[in-house]
Structure 1
Amino acid sequence: MDRIRIVGGNKLNGTIPISGAKNAALPLMIASLLTEETLILDNVPRLADVAQVQRILGNHGIDIMSAGKRPGDHEYQGQTLHISAANIIDTTAPYELVSTMRASFWVIAPLLARMGEAKVSLPGGCAIGTRPVDLLIMALEKLGAEIQIDGGYVIAKAPKGLIGAEIDFPKVTVSGTHVALMAATLAKGTTVITNAACEPEIVDVADCLNKMGAKITGAGTSRIVIEGVAKLHGARHTVLPDRIETGTYAMAVAMTGGDVQLAGARPELLQSALDVLTQAGATITPNNEGIRVTRNGAGIRPVTVSTAPFPGFPTDLQAQLMALMACAKGSSHITETIFENRFMHVQELARFGARIHLDGETATIEGISKLRGAPVMATDLRASVSLVIAGLAAEGETMVNRIYHLDRGFERLEEKLSACGATIERISG
């Protein structure tokens, strides 16, 4: 099992290229099931989760061609995928493929919309709370699907096709919004989604679906309207930059000090997180190439933050912020409002000497002047990278174990950081 070894104490200086967003690439790949023509996706990150969706699509009979680097390409440019779902040979997504990642469950929407049936295993993925699929099922039932759960599988049927409907989510759900959006594109009539998620990745998927011939308005607001169409066609779309990766590296620079250009980053995708970093003492400068992050000399100041759906502070940056606040001058408070069980990194950060007290969904962090390197274990995707950030700033050596979580969401993490002066290496085996 691979591990990452870090010797802390180096400032970060240089350029880090930002990859395509995992949380947009996965639903965009799944949306290819909606058309028999080829969907071409550019700037797709090379991640374990992307490879897993490729396996799931392959199981349905989908042809995927990956175009690698060509002369003149940047080293970190994402891959280009040509996805052709001309012949869907199987509408079942089995447990062994779906169990490792929650997003794979979303294939239920395009399969049902285009083929009139789907049998999809209940999902697995990160162990952060229950994250049930009841809202996704509710959305499909509103669109006229007949659904039963049998032996751990969700069996959905709509032999006469889906029918447009009003879908009012009782709470904001990114998964539910993705599923409702994809299913409604081929439904007969108009669908209105209220209390929809407003995340940039939802907008990116809607933009791509519109290029494919869908009629979607209002993506990025809490009310999305979809006029169903008879069929979709092929298109070409570039995946937007990853705002969570952007925020993660910005926090690493704030933690270690230094001066880093985040190439290709778009500040409007994570303004609330950048505002928090500014409060904490980093200097954030958007420019034509992306975002420049610096912290030279100034100490880290404590902040009080609650996670919230977009445009609020992202839950996916909560663990990274907690690592940063471990070295702030004073007490910080972080409240997690999106997922229960999302403080599993606390006990691992404590191994660095961090002083963190939990009370319900609020963590109080008493900053200390210096963290100490330690052997630690990754628990989920975002928590694992918070341990890397802590290790970059800690005295001595840190060994991060179980890093397969990192490979799910961060492309070439150790290469990007070592290019900016970090002492970090992957140890195989």
Structure 2
Amino acid sequence: MDKIRIVGGHVLKGTIPISGAKNAALPLMIASLLTEERLILENVPRLADVALLQRILGNHGVNITTNGKRVGDDPYAGQTLELDARVIVDTTAPYDLVSRMRASFWVVGPLLARMGQARVSLPGGCAIGTRPVDFHLDALRAMGADIEIDAGYVVASARKGLKGGRYEFPKVSVGATHTALMAATLAEGETILENAAREPEVTDLADCLIKMGARIEGAGTHTIRIQGVSRLRGARHAVLPDRIETGTYAMAAAMVGGDVMLAGARADLLESAFDILRQAGVRIDVSDEGIRVSRNGDGILPVDVSTAPYPGFPTDLQAQLMALMTRASGASRITETIFENRFMHVQELARFGARIHLDGDTATIEGAERLTGAPVMATDLRASVSLVIAGLAAEGETLVQRVYHLDRGFEKLEEKLSRCGAVIERISG
């Protein structure tokens, strides 16, 4: 099993290209099930989750052509996928595939809308909370779907097609919004989704669906209205830049100091996180090229943060911020409001010498003068990269194990950091 070795204490200076957003690419790929015509997606990141979803879609009969792997291509440019779901050969998404990635469960919406039936395994994924799919299913029921749970599978049918309906999510859910939004595009009549997720990835999906002929209003607000159409056409769409990768590298640069340009990043996708970094004493400069992050050696100031749905501070950056706050000059507080088990990285950060106290959903971090490198174990995708950030600043050597979590969400992590001066390498086996 691969490991990542880091020798800390090196300033980061240079340019880090930001990849396409994983959390946008996955629902966009799934949207290909809604049309018989080709969907062409540009700027798709090369990640384990993307490769796994290609296998899952292939199981349904989607033919996928990948461009961007030729000799001489920019290794940091996103790949282009051409997805052709002209013939759906199977409406079952099996346990052995869906259990490995939660987002693959979202195929239930498009399969049901287009084919009138779907049999999809209940999902798996990172162990950061229960994250039930009740909202996904209730939204589909509001559109007339009949749904049963049988031997660990969701069995859904709509023999006469889905009908427009109204559904209010009891709690903001990005995945459930994706599922309902895609299904509603082919439902007869109007569907209204209340308390919908406002994340940029939802808006990106809506933008692509509109190119495909969907009639959608209000994406990016709490109320989305969809007028169903009889069919969708093909389209070409570029995946938006990854705001979580952007925030992660911004915090890495802040952790060790230096000056890094995050090329292709969009500041408008991450305003809350940049507000917090500015409070911590980090300089953020926005230009047409991207976002420049710098810290001239002054100390990191403590902050008080609560995670929240967009446009609040992202839960997917909570672990990275905690790593940064281990070096702050004082006590910081981070409250996690989205997932109940998302503090599993705390024990691993403590191995560096971090001083963190947990009280329910709040972590208090007492800044330390120094961190010391240590062998650590990744527990989930975002926690994994928080250990990398800590290792970049720690004295001596850090060895991060279970890095397959990182491969799910960060493209060419070691290469991007090493080209800016980090001493970091992957050890195979």
Q: Smaller-chain TM-score range?
A: over 0.9
* TM-score (norm: length of structure 2): 0.99
Alignment-derived partner of residue 2 in structure 1: 2
Range that drifts further, 308-317 or 66-75: 66-75
Cα distance, 1:75 vs structure 2: 2.8
Amino acid at match of 1:113: A
**CA deviation after TM superposition for structure 1 residue 69, in Å:** 4.5
1:303 counterpart = 2:303:
yes
Aligned-partner SS, 2:408: helix
| 2:62 corresponding residue in structure 1 | 62
Written as runs of structure 1 = structure 2, the 5 A alignment for 1:275-290 is 275-290=275-290
**1:230 corresponding residue in structure 2:** 230
1:261 aligns with 2:261: yes
Q: Distance in 2 between matches of 1:426 and 1:155?
A: 42
Are 2:18 and 1:15 equivalent residues in the alignment? no
> What amino acid does structure 2 have at the position aligned with 1:229?
V
SS in 2 for 1:119: strand
Q: Deviations over 1:341-369 (max 9, x none)?
A: 00000000000000000000000000001
> What code does the residue aligned with 1:213 have?
G
CA distance in structure 1 between the aligned counterparts of 2:369 and 2:271, rounded to whole angstroms:
28
Q: CA deviation at 1:298?
A: 1.2
Counterpart position of 1:176: 176
State the Cα distance separating 1:124 from its structure 2 match.
0.2
Which residue type is aligned with residue 278 of structure 1? R
> Offset of 1:287 from its aligned partner?
0.5
User: Counterparts of 2:243 and 2:283 in 1: how far apart (Å)?
Assistant: 18
- The separation in 2 between residues aligned to 1:424 and 1:334, in whole angstroms, is 28
Please give the per-residue CA displacement for 1:145-184, whole angstroms capped at 9, x wherever unaligned.
0000000000000010000000111110101100110000
> Matched residues in 1 for 2:357 and 2:391: separation?
20
Give 1:297 shift: 1.8
Q: C-alpha separation between the residues in 1 aligned to 2:132 and 2:333?
A: 28
Structure 1 letter corresponding to 2:5? R
Partner amino acid, structure 2, of 1:277:
L
Partners of 2:313 and 2:385 in 1: how far apart?
17
Mapped to 2, the partners of 1:277 and 1:71 lie a distance apart of: 39
Corresponding residue for 1:40?
A: 40
- Aligned residue-pair number: 429
Q: Deviations over 1:16-41 (max 9, x none)?
A: 00000000000000000000000000
Cα distance in 1 for partners of 2:140, 2:76 equals: 38
| Residue of structure 2 equivalent to 1:189 | 189
Measured in 2, the distance between the counterparts of 1:230 and 1:201 equals 25
Deviation, 1:277, is 0.6
Structure 2 match to 1:214: 214
SS of 1:421's partner is coil
Asked whether 1:50 is paired with 2:50, we answer yes
What code does the residue aligned with 2:273 have?
Answer: A
Amino acid at match of 1:346: V
Q: In 2, Cα distance between the equivalents of 1:71 and 1:40? A: 21
> What's the offset of the Cα at 1:312?
0.3
Amino acid in structure 2 at the alignment position of 1:236: R
Query: How far apart, in 1, do the equivalents of 2:21 and 2:230 lie?
Result: 30
Residue 95 of structure 2 corresponds to which residue in structure 1? 95
The answer to whether the aligner puts 1:167 opposite 2:167 as a matched pair is yes
1:322 alignment partner in structure 2:
322
Secondary structure of 1:338's counterpart equals coil
Aligned partner of 2:399 in structure 1 is: 399
Structure 1 residue runs of 4 or more that deviate by more than 6 Å after TM superposition: none
CA distance, structure 1, for counterparts of residue 73 and residue 322 of structure 2: 36
2:76 counterpart residue number: 76
Which amino acid in structure 2 is aligned with residue 253 of structure 1? Answer: A
The answer for the alignment partner of 1:123 in structure 2 is 123
Q: Distance in 2 between matches of 1:42 and 1:71?
A: 18
| CA deviations over 1:380-425 (Å, ceiling 9, x no partner) | 0000000000000000000000000000000000000000000000
- In structure 2, the partner of 1:333 is 333
Cα distance in 2 between the residues matched to 1:299 and 1:73: 41
Distance, in Å, in 1 between the alignment partners of 2:72 and 2:234 is: 27
Question: 1:239 corresponds to which residue?
Answer: 239
1:107 positional shift: 0.3
- 1:142 alignment counterpart: 142
RMSD: 0.8
CA–CA distance in structure 2, aligned partners of residues 49 and 152 of structure 1:
22
SS of 1:399's partner is strand
- Note the C-alpha offset of 1:74: 3.2
Letter in 1 for 2:126: C
SS of aligned partner of 1:388: helix
| Deviations 1:242-281 (CA, angstroms, capped at 9, x unpaired) | 0000000000000000000000000000000011011111
| Counterparts of 1:107 and 1:47, CA distance in 2 | 19
Where does residue 370 of structure 2 map in the other structure? 370
Letter in 2 for 1:201: E
